[in-house]
Amino acid sequence: MKNPEIKSLFKYKPLNQYTLDIIANNRIYYPKPESFNDPFDTQCSFKNSSAIVQSKDLNKIKKAFPNEVSNEILAYTRKDLTAEIDSFKDEIKDFGILSLAEDEKDILMWSHYADDHKGVCIELERTDSNELGDPKATRKVAYTKSYPSMNVKSLLSKDGHDNSLMRVLYTKSEHWSYEREWRNFQSDGGKVYPIPGKILSITFGARASEMDIDIVKKLVGNSIPLFHAQLKENEFGIKLKKIT
């Protein structure tokens, strides 16, 4: 398992019916990229729209080389791959992406994704025996200045196609680097799937209501440890207090 020091990943959420469903039923929604708050997410570019490929037109080869054995001649032609590019981009649009974070104490993440510190942060276990520890299923996001740029010829082979997909799915603008995001995905997005790691704990935001805390306490009983985020007294930061 890569990055074995990362033993947990975290999902920041507002506390609503969908979050309660995660906790109660161990399943979570994988949204498609079109619903993301960043319209640049999963964008990509290609260096060209055509490629030199081996010709399979035996009739043309025979006409060009009438005195030669056609199956011993390699001929090449330039092929327009615009349709392959469009198909690749449509495929990306159908993926479901689960975004997770490395840190449960990030002030901005609480503000942006957990209802201004009124929501929760769910800790998911990462091991070498679950999807979160499998580098084929879950990886760190790479933050760059530009879209992933690829040679269109990569789409003509399965390995090249799959590698291009991974580059796009795991790349974001460097403006988002503070999130320290990891991603797990499903090829058929916009649906609910089993959570990819066991829930280890739930932390309530500093502004969480007592009613919300009581509801989750009733829901989980003693099966999941609960914590309450609190503001540090002398610095910008969060500390966690266990709820008994």
Q: Which two tokens stand for residue 198?
A: 């066991």
Q: Could you give the CA distance from residue 24 to residue 14 in angstroms, rounded to a whole number? A: 15
Total domain count for the chain? Answer: 1
Length of the chain, please? 244
Residue 161: inside a domain: yes
Residue 163: inside a domain: yes
Residue 113: inside a domain: yes
Residue 3: inside a domain: no
Residue 151, strand partner residues: none
Q: Could you give the CA distance from residue 114 to residue 104 in angstroms, rounded to a whole number? A: 11
Q: Could you give the CA distance from residue 3 to residue 223 in angstroms, rounded to a whole number? A: 28
Instruction: Tell me which residue range forms the domain holding 204.
Output: 8-47+96-242
Task: Check if the beta carbon of residue 155 is closer than 8 Å to that of residue 71.
Answer: no
Tell me the pLDDT of the chain (244 aa) as tens digits: 889 999 999 999 999 999 999 999 999 999 999 999 999 999 999 988 776 665 555 555 555 555 554 455 555 666 788 899 999 999 999 999 999 999 999 999 999 999 999 999 999 999 999 999 999 999 999 999 999 998 888 888 899 999 999 999 999 999 999 999 999 999 999 999 999 999 999 999 999 999 999 999 999 999 999 999 999 999 999 999 999 8
Q: Could you give the CA distance from residue 206 to residue 82 in angstroms, rounded to a whole number? A: 51
- Close Cβ partners of 68 (under 8 Å, ≥ 6 residues apart): none
